[in-house]
């Protein structure tokens, strides 16, 4: 009888983790996405020269990241997504070339350093989301751990991906990396055991899953469930029908469906109507739209300012990411107006900025995050379209307590936009700028925009 209690105790432990960091808990969070190797080099890092080679390790550590928790929290972030933590093949500064699932990447520090980072974050009320890969391992199969990941029979035969063929997408090698035979029951069990251990060992609150569309769909539900926490997957495809095919397999997905029309509008390449249409499509296509992650750039895409060098437009796009439906994800360095191009130029070290908390974008993000928190965390599946114009889009949330007016007119522009708030005789304060607004007895309001910046109204 005694031995039967051990699994129950483990289940109880996992359940306690899940209760504290399940999907519902994550919906009101605000995520800062950090490449561990690029944030800070030590606990005393106050800034310095730029890393000379962004294609290799630059020296960021867990201790360095821990020392910047207040810097991150100062922008209103209460969750951090960190890149994979496991030991990597040489050159895997980013973490996506795993070599040993049960060892920590020594370039970042020790297992104890990682535990200290997670514990320090928790003490500040910050969740930590760990990035994981189950599609592939790094180069040099013979060196991989644990067994049988060091055997060629654990992998598919090498082939180049044909992206018009889903079987090829799932079975061939992305970037010449060994593609795991994830249909093998032994491999599935190995990864389920590992993710369960990883969460229990380090106390992570969530999991971001890399290269989801490169693995057959039925691999994911048991893997996600084994983690016991919120899981968000990367399906790198903007087609909402294709994306929605993965929606029931894990807690949430990165919202690539919204990513494209959102950036097109705020970068003056597309219409507000196209964005609104996609919001509506997502509403009808996904079981839980509020569990999707909203973002405007990341380590796989050129930085936003590299595509459109206009801080006012960036502020409008960030207002959408942080204040529209979904879980916001902001890529590190956005607060310092980084503008790097494609990988690895978009993976700049943060220390070159001197961790400036007075920068224009740091303060802008702080104001947007504060509005999200003041509106109650915005966890709901709500986004009411109020105004769709050639150069503007406004929506409301939280029953009209929050109204956001964005434009794509850009730096130096001004305008006057009149629309119905659906709140008669309402009163709001502009928390991104200054001033207050009231609606008339029918709910109509006129809002003035200045220098192309968004207007964020919170109920007075």
405, 435 Cβ separation under 8 angstroms:
no
**Could you confirm whether 348 is annotated as catalytic?**
no
65-98: b (≥16 Cβ within 10 Å) or e: bbbbbebbbbbbbbbbbbbbbbbbbeebbbbbbb
CA distances from 264 to 47, 296, 407 (A): 34, 10, 12
Residue of 78, 100, 170, 210 marked active site: 210
Maximum C-alpha span of the chain: 74
Residue of 45, 78, 131, 234 marked active site: 234
Task: Write out the two tokens for 181.
Answer: 């035979």
Task: Write out the two tokens for 237.
Answer: 């495809």
Cα separation, 235 vs 213, in Å, equals: 5
243, 58 Cβ separation under 8 angstroms:
no
CA distances from 35 to 92, 100, 202 (A): 12, 19, 18
Q: Residue for token digits 């895409």? A: 301
**Could you confirm whether 453 is annotated as catalytic?**
no
Residues paired with residue 131 on neighbouring β-strands, in sequence order: 208
Q: Which residues are catalytic?
A: 210, 234
């Amino acid at each position: 009888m005694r031995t039967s209690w051990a699994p129950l105790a483990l289940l109880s432990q996992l359940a306690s983790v899940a209760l504290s960091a399940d999907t519902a808990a994550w919906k009101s969070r605000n995520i800062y996405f950090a490449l561990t190797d690029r944030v800070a080099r030590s606990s005393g890092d106050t800034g310095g020269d730029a890393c000379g080679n962004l294609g290799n390790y630059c020296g960021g550590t867990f201790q360095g990241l821990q020392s910047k928790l207040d810097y991150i929290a100062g922008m209103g972030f209460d969750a951090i997504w960190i890149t994979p933590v496991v030991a990597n093949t040489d050159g895997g500064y980013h973490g996506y070339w795993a070599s040993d699932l049960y060892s920590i990447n020594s370039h970042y520090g020790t297992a104890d350093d990682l535990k200290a980072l997670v514990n320090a974050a928790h003490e500040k009320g910050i969740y930590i989301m760990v990035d994981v890969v189950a599609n592939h391992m790094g180069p040099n199969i013979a060196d991989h751990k644990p067994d049988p990941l060091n055997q060629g029979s654990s992998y598919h035969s090498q082939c180049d991906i044909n992206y018009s063929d889903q079987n090829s997408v799932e079975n061939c090698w992305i970037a010449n990396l060994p593609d795991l035979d994830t249909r093998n029951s032994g491999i599935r069990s190995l990864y389920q055991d590992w993710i369960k251990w990883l969460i229990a060992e380090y106390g992570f609150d969530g999991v971001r899953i890399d290269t989801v569309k490169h693995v057959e769909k039925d691999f994911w539900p048991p893997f996600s469930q084994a983690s016991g926490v919120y899981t968000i997957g990367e399906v790198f495809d903007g087609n909402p029908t294709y994306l929605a095919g993965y929606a029931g397999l894990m807690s949430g997905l990165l919202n690539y469906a919204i990513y494209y029309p959102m950036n097109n509008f705020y970068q003056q390449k597309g219409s507000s109507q196209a964005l609104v249409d996609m919001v509506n499509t997502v509403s009808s296509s996904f079981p839980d739209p509020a569990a999707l992650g909203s973002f405007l750039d990341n380590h796989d895409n050129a930085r936003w300012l590299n595509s459109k060098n206009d801080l006012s437009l960036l502020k409008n796009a960030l207002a959408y990411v942080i204040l529209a439906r979904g879980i916001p994800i902001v890529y590190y360095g956005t607060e310092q107006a980084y503008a790097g191009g494609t990988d690895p130029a978009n993976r700049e070290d943060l220390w070159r900025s001197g961790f400036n908390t007075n920068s224009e974008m740091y303060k802008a993000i702080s104001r947007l995050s504060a509005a999200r928190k003041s509106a109650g965390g915005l966890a709901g599946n709500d986004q009411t379209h109020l105004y769709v114009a050639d150069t503007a889009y406004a929506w409301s949330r939280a029953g009209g307590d929050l109204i956001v007016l964005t434009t794509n007119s850009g730096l130096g522009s001004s305008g006057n936009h009149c629309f119905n708030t659906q709140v008669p005789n309402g009163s709001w304060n502009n928390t991104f700028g200054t001033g207050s607004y009231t609606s008339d007895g029918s709910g109509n309001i006129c809002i003035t925009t200045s220098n192309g910046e968004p207007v964020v109204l919170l109920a007075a």
